[in-house]
Amino acid sequence: MSNNVKSLRNVKTLTSVAMLIALSAVGAVIKLFGTVALDSMPGYFAALYLGGWYGAIVISLGHIFTALTSGFPLGVAVHFYIAIQMAVYAYLFKFVYEKSNSFLAVIAGTLLNGPISTLLFVPLFGWGFFAGMCLPLTIGSFVNVLMAALVYKAIARIGGVQIDRKI
């Protein structure tokens, strides 16, 4: 592959990542329930379209944008921990999508970012936090993950899957 082709591929990938990060920032201000927002859809999509690592970057920044627009209600350190969790979930979403199918990937992404994520905070915030956040976070997670999978499938249907990697 020539240097010009590699350079063009890198510019296309960087541009795609930047646009998806910007969409995460927009989604961060569209709140579904309290602090639960549409920030992670671009990250899950990026994981499918560009790769797990790109998805991890986009989704973690999306969470930071949501935390920022919400005033970091759980504290800065906790929100950075959540951003790391979400990065792992985006990567795992891509993994499950590739190894099984979109239906199982949507279920896995929803469960990871919903009840499992909330359960990890029981030692810190207690069962009341779990009871109050589990359902809204699970619904929000489902909406974000499902939208990402649907958009990816629509792009795949018209022949645009991983177009940034092809010249």
CB-based contacts of 6, cutoff 8 Å, min separation 6: none
Strands (E) across the chain are located at: 31-33, 36-37
117 and 74 in contact (C-beta within 8 Å)? no
User: What contacts 24+ positions apart, CB below 8 Å, involve 98-104?
Assistant: 102/149, 102/153
Tell me the percentage of the chain whose pLDDT exceeds 90: 84
Give the fold, CATH level 3, of 3-165. Answer: Arp2/3 complex 21 kDa subunit ARPC3 (1.10.1760)
pLDDT digits over 12-45, tens only?
889 999 999 999 999 999 999 989 999 999 999 9
Domain boundaries, the chain: 3-165
Please indicate whether residue 8 or residue 39 has the higher confidence score (pLDDT).
39
Residue type, 161: V
Please indicate whether residue 105 or residue 164 has the higher confidence score (pLDDT).
105
CB-based contacts of 13, cutoff 8 Å, min separation 6: 50, 54, 164, 165
